[in-house]
């Protein structure tokens, strides 16, 4: 019988470029997926800023594209819809693989993941 | 039912983090998760009585914590954080005051810990 896939959840509350948290989440998720682990990322508070494809980062890594790359590898990435509204992160500026949703989705991830880690605002 | 401990370490005003920790707790409690919210470090200020943040155009977190048990959230206040900030038991609006050993046991008993 096939062994059930392990599930990892990551909550990121810190914003991109000011803090390194989303980069850490990216590397954890990338490595976990390569090891066959199912990864879910929920972006909360300033974490949702990372989702805006309109971010311009001349000469620097482009975090929204990194997240898109994760989503294409099967990582489920969801941002808090309310947090996004407060930060002008609009649905039309998100890559289609990435969704906005409510806290119920965070609850679902917490419920279903074997391990859940928080990369929080300092 | 999964048991989740939420550690809320930020003060009620100055950043949105304390309020967001509450919002996450509420969302999880509505989703049939057993939620245990612990106010510790500067988070304990959120449980103080007689908060009046109208002048800074904020909503009082006291109102939130006063009614929290009716929302299905178990609230705890860290005794050591209270003592470090010279807060007496009668100045706290609600919640079970717990010492370090109880907090350790609570965290140990959780399936998941979220820190805000």
Pairing mode of beta strands B3-8, A38-43: unpaired
pLDDT band with cut points at 50, 70 and 90 for residue A1: low
Within 8 A of B28 by CB-CB distance, chain A residues are 103, 106-107, 110
- The nearest alpha carbon in chain B to A102 belongs to B27
What count of Cα atoms within 13 Å lies in the side-chain half-sphere of residue B17?
23
Handedness of CA A63, A69, A75, A78 (dihedral sign): positive
The CA distance from A41 to A22, in Å, is 10
- The angle at the Cα of A108, spanning A107 to A112, to the nearest 5 degrees, equals 120
CATH code, domain carrying B36: 3.40.1260.10
Cross-strand pairs, A16: A19
For the packed helices A21-34 and A63-72, what is the interaxial angle rounded to 10 degrees?
20
> Predicted ipTM?
0.87
* pLDDT tens column, A42-74: 999 999 999 999 999 999 999 999 999 999 999
Tokens 């009716």: give the residue. B70
- Residue-number span of the structural domain to which B22 is assigned: 3-115
Number of domains in chain B: 1
Give A59→chain B minimum CA distance, Å. Answer: 31
Q: What integer pLDDT is reported at residue B23 of this predicted model?
A: 96
Does residue B116 sit at the A interface (CB-CB below 8 Å)?
Answer: yes
The CA distance from B101 to B89, in Å, is 18
Domains and CATH numbers, chain A: 7-119 (3.40.1260.10)
The CA distance from A101 to A119, in Å, is 19
């Amino acid at each position: 019988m096939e062994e059930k896939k392990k599930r990892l959840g990551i909550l990121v509350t810190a914003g991109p470029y000011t803090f390194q948290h989303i980069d850490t989440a990216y590397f954890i998720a990338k490595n976990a997926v390569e090891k066959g682990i199912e990864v879910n990322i929920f972006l909360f508070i300033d974490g949702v800023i990372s989702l805006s494809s309109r971010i311009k980062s001349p000469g620097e890594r482009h975090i929204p594209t990194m997240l898109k790359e994760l989503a294409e590898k099967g990582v489920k990435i969801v941002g808090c819809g309310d947090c996004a509204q407060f930060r002008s992160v609009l649905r039309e500026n998100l890559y289609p693989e990435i969704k906005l949703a409510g806290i119920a989705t965070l609850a679902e991830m917490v419920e279903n993941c074997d391990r859940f880690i928080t990369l929080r605002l300092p | 039912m999964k048991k989740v401990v939420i550690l809320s370490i930020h003060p009620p005003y100055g950043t949105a983090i304390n309020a967001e920790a509450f919002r996450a707790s509420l969302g999880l409690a509505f989703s049939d998760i057993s939620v245990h919210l612990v106010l510790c470090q500067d988070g304990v200020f959120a449980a103080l009585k007689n908060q009046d943040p109208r002048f800074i155009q904020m909503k009082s977190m006291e109102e939130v914590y006063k009614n929290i048990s009716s929302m299905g959230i178990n609230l705890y206040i860290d005794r050591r954080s209270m003592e470090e900030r010279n807060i007496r038991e009668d100045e706290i609006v609600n919640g079970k005051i717990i010492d370090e050993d109880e907090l350790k046991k609570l965290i140990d008993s959780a399936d998941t810990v979220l820190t805000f």
